[in-house]
Amino acid sequence: MLAKCGWWLLALCVALAVAAPAGARDKEKPNDAVAVSGSGVGVAPGAPTWVREKIQKIHAGKIENGGSDEPGTLLGPQARKRATWFGCRDVYAFRGYNHFAGYNLFRYYQQVSWCSNGYSIYSWSRYRWAELNFPGWAFDGHVDSYLGGSSTHKRAFTQGSFHTCYFGWCDYKVPWVAIEVYASGYWSANTGG
């Protein structure tokens, strides 16, 4: 009889030991990916070769890194001093996600290049791409885009879609990147999603 009670008691202890962590696991919030973003002047680090080649073509024969007029170099009826900057500039921004342990899952980049004569933007272009850095994540494509503005201000917006699925559970992310550039050389970037 004691042996029979011992087996039941042992089975009950094992069942409780297995069920307690499983029940507690259901109540814990899963660790989510951590959003990361960044921006900078120049070509994005790790930009694909095709982006670098296109930017080089844009700058061919153009003044690089901006500049300003020397005093007295503008003559005639439009002898106003130019708006502090002219030339061509490249900027980038990205939105991505890092695993809660710190390694990067993916990044979504946007690169904008523009040229200004100090009064207006006479040339500009936008490039965008995905960078997958962890197995299981897939890029589903660009899902939204906007290019517009005026002769002194341009705005480039893009949004991409990413997903991963493991054991019947799927996670979807739709990061967006917006970059605004001005004839004065000023620029700003915002990210989200």
The 10s digit of each residue's pLDDT in 66-114 is 433 444 444 444 444 444 577 889 999 999 999 888 889 999 999 999 9
**What integer pLDDT is reported at residue 57 of this predicted model?**
77
| 176 class by beta-carbon count within 10 Å (0-12 exposed, 13-18 middle, 19+ buried) | middle
The answer to whether residue 18 sits within a structural domain is no
Does this model's pTM top 0.75?
A: no
Alpha carbons 126 and 121: distance in angstroms, whole number: 14
Domain residues for the domain of 122 are 32-61+83-192
- Is the pLDDT confidence value at 14 over 50? no
Confidence of residue 11 (pLDDT cuts 50, 70, 90): low
Buried b (16+ CB within 10 A) or exposed e, 93-130: bbbbbbeeeeebbbbbbbbbbbbbebeebeebbbbbbb
Dig out the tokens for 2 from the structure.
Answer: 């004691």
Do β-strands 138-149 and 153-166 pair in parallel, antiparallel, or remain unpaired?
A: antiparallel
* Domain assignment of residue 73, yes or no: no
Question: Is residue 188 predicted with pLDDT exceeding 90?
Answer: yes
Query: Average pLDDT of 111-130?
Result: 91
Per-residue tokens: 177: 């990147």
Quote the tokens at residue 75.
């003559």
CA within 13 Å, CB half, 30: 6
Query: Is 39 inside a domain boundary?
Result: yes
Average pLDDT over residues 114-131: 91
In-domain check, residue 132: yes
* Distance in angstroms (rounded) separating the CA atoms of residues 12 and 171: 37
Kindly state whether residue 91 falls inside one of the protein's structural domains: yes
Please say whether the beta carbons of 145 and 179 come within 8 A: no
Domains: count for the chain = 1
